Amino acid sequence: ALMYYMPDGTCAGQYVDTLTLIAKSIIFQFTTSDGAVDEIWGNFVNGTWVGMFGELYRHEKDLIINTQVLTLDSYRDFDFTYPLKLSYFIVIIKRPDAMPQWRNILYPFSTLTWGLLIATIITFSTFITCILSHQNIISDPVDFFIMVSSGLLSQPMEDRQVKVWWARLLLVMWWLIADILVASYTSNLVANLTVPAFPPLLQTLQDLVDSQKRVTMPDFGSTLPYYLATSTTNTLVQFNDRLEMLPVTDWSEPYGYFVPMIINQDDVAVITHNTFHYIFRKKVQHL
């Protein structure tokens, strides 16, 4: 582990070992402490540093060891041994359950396609039925309307029922289109029956802002809320308004709260990239 307590209460770990080697090399002594008085790592609030970074800024501490997102403010006020090449925040959300199997019959076509298809069937069937009925070409308009509408089901029709050339041409074109649609639907249906279908996923931050999901983040002293609130991008400001900061109750695992919260309540959690080790250690397969 990077840092941990020994049974006798002393602090140990990779960070302490590294600092011990440096201290022996350039001859200085150091002591360790549990953390800042306000129990915050390092947050920039209203132009002031709080947490351990605040103590370092006020010269109450000489150095601190951990990772910190490199921003213009932290770059201006502190010296770093080396900047992180990769540091970012991620959004964790539960993977949605598969949709009911019976709904697969609707998935080959999108909602828009279904709407246009139904509108086209009703419009074309009504149009040609009304014209042929008005010219006394057909004797039973209702039966003819049903036969034209059922073209997608490949229902046969008596050839001699319509004798005018232009009506026969329209019906041939209609049945040709119907055969193409049926073939397209059938092929897509086979794929949807073999592959589980899932609800639409949240793809962008704006999708998350527009959703009704609860967005949470452990209040360990991150600079993210400050920069979200002061951003000139409307989406980031709205995201910050939705962001709910939760107090950290167990500093040995500050991210332990979000796994049951996301799985059981379908909430969203914002964490740093280096907390994925918690998910892998707990073998969570739902995210």
Each domain of the chain, given as residue ranges in start order, spans 88-97+200-287, 101-194
Residue range 58-68, pLDDT digits in tens: 988 888 877 66
| % of residues, the chain, pLDDT over 90 | 1
Residues 16-42: pLDDT tens digits? 888 888 888 888 888 887 777 777 777
Residue with more model confidence, 220 or 56: 56
Find the distance separating the first CA and the last CA of the chain, reported in whole Å: 25
**Sign of the four-CA dihedral 53, 57, 59, 63:** positive
Q: What is the mean pLDDT of residues 171-186?
A: 79
pLDDT of residue 225: 82
Separation between Cα atoms, residue 57 and residue 245, nearest integer Å = 24
Q: Is the pLDDT of residue 283 over 50?
A: no
**Mean pLDDT computed over every residue of the chain:** 75
Q: What is the DSSP string of the chain?
A: --SEE-TTS-EESHHHHHHHHHHHHHT------S--TT--SEEEETTEEEHHHHHHHTTS-S---S-----HHHHHH---SS--S---EEEEEPPPPPPPGGGGGTTTS-HHHHHHHHHHHHHHHHHHHHHHHHTT--S-HHHHHHHHHGGGGT----GGG---HHHHHHHHHHHHHHHHHHHHHHHHHHHHHHS---PPPP-SHHHHHHS---EEEE-S--SHHHHHHT-S-HHHHHHHHHEEEEPPS-TTSTTTTHHHHHHHH--EEEEEGGGHHHHHHHT----
Mean predicted confidence (pLDDT) in 124-133:
81
* pLDDT for the residue 286: 47
Phi, psi of 283 (to 5 degrees): 55, 50
| Per-residue confidence (pLDDT) for residue 85, from 0 to 100 | 54
Does residue 48 have a pLDDT over 80?
A: yes
The whole-number average pLDDT for the span 146-159 is 61
Nearest to 3 by CA among 30, 39, 33: 33
How sure is the predictor about 214, in pLDDT bands with cuts at 50, 70 and 90? confident
Q: Which range is most confident: 159-173, 205-219, 269-283?
A: 205-219
Per the document, the length of the chain is: 287
Contact 11, 3 (CB under 8 A): yes
pLDDT in tens, 187-210: 777 766 777 777 778 888 888 888
Contact in structure between 221 and 43 (CB atoms under 8 Å): yes
Between these two residues, 154 and 133, which has the higher pLDDT value?
133
Q: Mean pLDDT lowest for which of 125-129, 139-143, 227-231?
A: 139-143
Q: How much is the pLDDT for 64?
A: 82
Region 88-97+200-287: CATH code: 3.40.190.10
